[in-house]
Structure 1
Amino acid sequence: MSPRWNPNPDVRTGRHVVYNLHVHLVFVTKYRRKAFTNEMLTRCEEIMQEVCADFEADLKQFNGEEDHVHLLVHYPPKVQLSKLVNSLKGVSARLLRKEYDAHVRRYQWGGHFWSGSYFAGSCGGAPLTVVKQYIENQKRPVG
């Protein structure tokens, strides 16, 4: 590697791939019940960091309020987002219910901690207009 090149730590390489994939995830509690305390959010972040590590992903940012959490995850292309999300929600629900049982039972019942839906948005890199323009301006061979 050239000493002039300052590598971007977010750009990773695999055997046949160079990637920089980030996703913004939002999970909402079932019926938007205000089940989270500050202590529970701290524990939820720890749990989600461990789950991400199992997927060879990094939890770059985490925060939340009483009824939802936001995550910024840097993940490899081999990871199926739906499987990562299922694991994040499943493991965190199971452990939070187990560790904060009395508190959670006051707000949640029926076996569900999270809403069945979630938000996933890709993020990072150039804006779509710039990427579209770059692709549009490629020098296509004539003939």
Structure 2
Amino acid sequence: MPNTHSEIHLHFVFTPKFRAALITPDWEIRLHKYITGIVQKNDHKMLAINGTEDHIHMLIGYRPAQSIPSLIQDVKADSSQWINNNKFCPTRFEWQSGYGAFSYSKSQIPGVIRYIQNQKEHHGKIKFLDEYKLLLDEFEIGYNEKYIFKIPE
């Protein structure tokens, strides 16, 4: 669209189904590159991507021509198919339904990038669910404990 300008930075968090620790170091970097390709194919800009064996964080420069749910659907569907086609997991890989999406101003971006880049060190100190609840609280997002990325009981 002519004369349309945007500066939107979104931080996404999502997990394998049931928060299973399935993302292993031997293919994790390839997964990050693959997801980056999906994001770029959809005309967004990947600013940072990282995570641990049970979740992924990504920060993107978002272009509003595509809806957020559509982007995340593309990322999850394409990447899970890629994981399964390459047989990286002993069982069928699926992403958990749902995701976190958080917006940041341009001045906050360097700190968010550092935070994402240091995920492994960060999670030596804090568990994923505790971290995720802190994000929800920081953004004043109300939540029901039973709907947060949980392992089935």
TM-score scaled to structure 2, two decimals? Answer: 0.65
Q: Which has the larger radius of gyration?
A: 1
What's 1:71 paired with? Answer: 58
Q: Quick check: which one's strand share is greater? A: 1
**Cα-Cα RMSD:** 1.8
Residue 107 of structure 2 corresponds to residue 122 of structure 1: no
User: 1:45: Cα distance to partner?
Assistant: 1.0
**In percent, how many aligned pairs have the same letter?**
22
Residue 89 of structure 2 corresponds to residue 104 of structure 1: yes
User: 1:126: Cα distance to partner?
Assistant: 6.8
| 1:60-109 C-alpha deviation (Å, 9 max, x unpaired) | 1000101000000112121211110000011110001111x1x412xx44
2:9, 2:106 within 8 Å by CA — same for their partners in 1? no
How many residue pairs match? The answer is 108
Which SS does the other structure have where 1:92 is aligned?
A: helix
Task: Give the ranges of 4+ consecutive aligned residues of structure 1 lying more than 2 Å apart after TM superposition.
Answer: none
Q: Quick check: which one's helix share is greater? A: 2
Q: Which runs of 5+ in 2 are unaligned?
A: 109-153
TM-score scaled to structure 1, two decimals? Answer: 0.69
Q: How does 1:1-143 map to 2 (within 5 A)?
A: 15-99=2-86, 101=87, 103-105=88-90, 108-109=91-92, 112-125=93-106
